[in-house]
Amino acid sequence: MVFVGTFWALIPPIVAIVLALITKETFSSLFIGILVGALLLALQSGDILNVINYVILGSFGEGDDAAKVGFINAISDPWNAGIFVFLVMLGIMVALVNAAGGSVAFGRWAAKHIKSRVGAQLATFFLGVLIFIDDYFNCLTVGAVMRPVTDTEKISRAKLSYIIDATAAPICMIAPISSWAAAVSSTADGIEGVSGIQLFIQAIPFNFYSLLTIVFLIAICIMGFDYGPMAKAEFEAYKNGNSGSLGNEEFAQKERASLLDLVIPIVVLIVCCIFGMLYVGGFWDPESGVAGDLSAAFGNTDASVGLPWGSLIALVITFFYLLIRRVISFKEATESFVSGFKAMVPAMLILTFALTLKLATSALGADVFVHNALEGAAEGLYMMLPAIIFLVALGLAFATGTSWGTFGILIPIVVAVFDPASILLTIGISACLAGAVCGDHISPISDTTVMASAGANVNHIEHVSTQIPYALTVAAVSFVCFIIAGFVQNAIICLVIGAALTIGTLFVLRLTVGKKVTD
């Protein structure tokens, strides 16, 4: 029986996701998904004894086309290793600032200036929008800064993690200067006759999921209601004081601590990470070919090198700054290194399992299956293709947990399907990117989703289950917009219709299933 390049390629992640949502247990669900993938690979290779090999360390196939699978390959991949280092650095930064009293000082300031639940949610949203450079950076930084504020206003960690997640990948996908723009540009640049960054910018007005997520998020915060599992989480936080935090958070109160003890480390972190990404991208290198070109440097950068590079410098500066300020002792500072690392262990474990599952899914040829499915659809549903591409990208990103991998697979297919001179190519690329972001947003095995739950310090599956109804509401409206866009081909008209549908849907939901926790 053939498993590679068929629907069987999506079975391992589907098994993992379904088990995670049913059992609310992440690690065992992901591990079972990995075992299913390894079993399919072993059956395909004709040697059932290869199952353990494919779980731990192995290669599926022969020669240069052999796909690396297993835990060790996932961990040793340079990109993944760089992201792990970045996680550790941010964990230590957060621990340092907390131990120095910076978070509590920010909480005191926020209590004076942010007087409502709506204000706290919108402040989290705007901070997320401001940190648009990278989704990992966004999730962990916004979470660390806003946890004390949302706790004061009795906002659940589930709601915080949703706002964080909704302003991470969706915002990065419409920011021309971001690691996501770089990833899309580099994928499209490999295609003859296509300018990656130009195509990315042209696609922004048609990226309905990202743009309508902003409309949805602002509207639901202002309207002050929730629905689905999120309503229950908000009720528990507001009425019973149970925010859903995993605990293990130490917010030290220091008399000498001030607002600047949080603001300065965060600003230094942002500046250093931007500097690191530009440096790695060759912005100051005369021989790089992109010297002095901001967009090109971001397109040429490697976030897995630039972000750890920048965060390390920021960590050193923060360490000495807090010591000089005498808000933390040398012993407390060094102990923060250990506590910061420990705080990131659960997120790193989930990420390791998710990355290993992705390797198995890739080795089983999910890209081949999707390519064949799209080719079949292109023959008779040309004007409907943007909507179909959106659904295919959503499903693939949800099943594999990677938006970058999804548009890496689909962009070459979309370019091949549409006429390069037609605006339908732009709409098709937008549908691909929007679907990839949406699937990534709701997938339990997405690294960005893992980072959002880590940033809010909430149970990972609770974060996933509470945000799925919200994300799917926006996805449904986006799907309608892509149907309309295939015929109307005007971004402004489609966005006006989409915004009206989004707000109208929220009014209906508020009247039917919505609940206000302040009532």
Find where tokens 């990470």 sit. 273
If one compares 21 and 337, the residue with the highest pLDDT of the two is 337
- Name which residue leads in pLDDT, 431 or 102: 431
Q: pTM for the whole thing?
A: 0.74
- Of the candidates 333, 349, 315, 297, the one whose C-alpha atom is nearest the C-alpha of residue 27 is 349
**Distance of alpha carbon 168 from alpha carbon 291, whole angstroms:** 28
Confidence at 513, pLDDT banded by 50, 70, 90: confident
- Please tell me whether residue 450 adopts helix, strand or coil conformation: helix
Query: Phi, psi (5° rounding) for residue 490?
Result: -135, 115
Which residue would you say has higher pLDDT here, 246 or 504?
504
- CA-CA distance, 159 to 162, in Å (whole number)? 5
Placement of tokens 């402040």 in the chain: 123
Res 64 pLDDT > 70: no
pLDDT tens digits, 319-375 = 999 999 988 889 989 998 988 888 778 778 877 887 888 788 888 887 777 767 766
**Maximum pairwise Cα distance, the chain:** 70
Contacts 24+ apart (CB under 8 A), 290-297: 294/177, 295/176, 295/177, 295/181, 295/197, 296/197
Task: Assign 488 to helix, strand or coil.
Answer: helix
Condensed to tens digits (0 to 9), the pLDDT of residues 75-125 reads 888 878 887 888 788 788 878 887 888 877 877 777 778 878 888 899 888
Tell me if residue 66 falls in helix, strand or coil.
coil
Tokens encoding 451: 């980072």
pLDDT given for residue 434 in this prediction: 92
Helix axes 330-363, 447-456, angle to 10 degrees: 150
Domain ranges of the chain: 78-193+229-235+247-351
Q: How confident is the model at residue 197, as a pLDDT?
A: 63
Sole residue written with tokens 């989290």: 124
Q: Which residue has the tokens 């639901």?
A: 220
